[in-house]
Structure 1
């Protein structure tokens, strides 16, 4: 399927690994120029080197912490400097946080809100004027199925995911007249380093029978139990959805949160 984005310019945050990396690669495969953004410069450069291995790939990099107030304008400015415009924004930065209300600290709330919700709002606000100027834009916000089906074991993450879904719907209504479509993806259990590092330890604490299993085995067992399709998702599968939502082939889907969870309504 020709997505019709050859020559378009995209920003992908949290793009040094996992879903963000897969999204950047998918957009490059369809002819877009991509600014990849992540905090860790060494990992970002390694990712960019791999992405540049794709024939004809147009890649720029920026090491930045999206939670900092000045970052959004700097990131968007880098896109304009490197490629002369901006048409696609994929807000992927962030991680899961295991825990309930009573055992989540003020620091947890501050950090998670800053990197997941506040940075997303700022990135959208900085990007939209350039999309309005082009008369065409696509924004994809990575969320969680927990924003629809909350799990108290992931209290902070799922409260913020619900806010992301609301931000997406509200913004979509505001900018539809400008040719800009805004959607979110409600992600379930996807096998990435982020999931392994942040979720697997919590699963082991809750399920003593998993204490001696490898990370891969824990993910496989949990996915088989809780996901109707019987397995965890892959970063590539989420990237394919993001690429469609970011494309010219999508002209009528906006304000939605697309559930990508293998049919599951929880994953822990």
Structure 2
């Protein structure tokens, strides 16, 4: 997915990440893809993982065709033991260290409280909180070896604005807390940790885009949750992530930054 704006940047221009060695989880689709594209356009050296090899190959071919080089990629499920940690070590070896990591992979399983089982809750937790904790743990020695670095945790406004499903919101709330706690723990090593919470994003082919075309009346009611009546875009969220990875944000750590156009409820059902 791309809205075409990344083409406005040339390597080393605009984003402040030129030469940064950055690993992004879940970087082949949606927000993760837009983060990868923006960082690549800014001259970063990139590693990214996703579950689908075909998506990674498509992303690599596209970035290469745009003159942004080829990222180091690996197909894996971030919830499978040791695979993520091995990828982090391999990326650090390839780049001779790391300057930043972005925990973007995530998701949810199950529906409402009466329908979701224990496995739905545990999988949702592992996709979001567990994967983030293991990513940071694996990256810390490499960030420390580079003299410090930046960790960006992609949470969600669902982490503090109630809405279904509860297991997803609870996991996102934990990510926000995790970022603040790790900022204190890792600060002495020069490692900054921040959380970014996107609002509902308009992504071609995804839930809100489908609602816009298939259920225009429901979509119009949903827009009442946003003062501007317009959803945030992945590009706008990616720019905040790039800022937090750059040296321009050297004084920012332990912060929680919503990027949601002052959205109220995270779902059409309201609070």
TM-score, normalising length: structure 2 = 0.86
Task: Give the distance between the partners of 1:193 and 1:150, measured in 2 at CA.
Answer: 25
Once the two structures are TM-superposed, the CA of residue 38 in structure 1 deviates from its matched residue by 0.3
Task: Give the distance between the partners of 1:118 and 1:216, measured in 2 at CA.
Answer: 35
Q: Which residue of 2 aligns with 1:133?
A: 145
Cα RMSD, aligned residues only: 2.3
* Match for residue 163 of structure 1 among 154, 158, 174: 174
Q: Which residue of 1 aligns with 2:82?
A: 70
Q: Which residue of 2 aligns with 1:227?
A: 226
Q: Which residue of 2 aligns with 1:101?
A: 113
| Secondary structure class of the residue paired with 1:174 | helix
Runs of 4+ in 1 over 6 A off after TM superposition: none
* Match for residue 37 of structure 2 among 5, 8, 25: 25
Once the two structures are TM-superposed, the CA of residue 221 in structure 1 deviates from its matched residue by 2.6
* Match for residue 7 of structure 1 among 11, 19, 25: 19
- C-alpha contact (below 8 Å) 1:146/1:265 kept by paired residues: no
Task: Give the distance between the partners of 1:63 and 1:193, measured in 2 at CA.
Answer: 23
Structure 2 gap ranges (5+): 1-12
Task: Give the distance between the partners of 1:200 and 1:102, measured in 2 at CA.
Answer: 28
TM-score, normalising length: structure 1 = 0.87
Once the two structures are TM-superposed, the CA of residue 25 in structure 1 deviates from its matched residue by 1.0
| Secondary structure class of the residue paired with 2:150 | strand
- Asked if residue 117 in structure 1 is aligned to residue 134 in structure 2, the reply is no
1:115-165 Cα shifts (integer Å, max 9, x gaps): 1110110000000111111112111111011212222x2211100011001
- The 1:157–1:33 alpha-carbon spacing in structure 2 relative to 1, beyond 3 Å, is same
Farther off after superposition, 179-188 or 73-82: 73-82
- C-alpha contact (below 8 Å) 2:244/2:252 kept by paired residues: yes
- Asked if residue 245 in structure 1 is aligned to residue 244 in structure 2, the reply is yes
- The 1:34–1:220 alpha-carbon spacing in structure 2 relative to 1, beyond 3 Å, is farther
- C-alpha contact (below 8 Å) 1:87/1:134 kept by paired residues: yes
Once the two structures are TM-superposed, the CA of residue 101 in structure 1 deviates from its matched residue by 2.0
Structure 1 gap ranges (5+): 202-209
Task: Give the distance between the partners of 2:90 and 2:77, measured in 1 at CA.
Answer: 14
Once the two structures are TM-superposed, the CA of residue 265 in structure 1 deviates from its matched residue by 2.8
- C-alpha contact (below 8 Å) 2:97/2:145 kept by paired residues: no
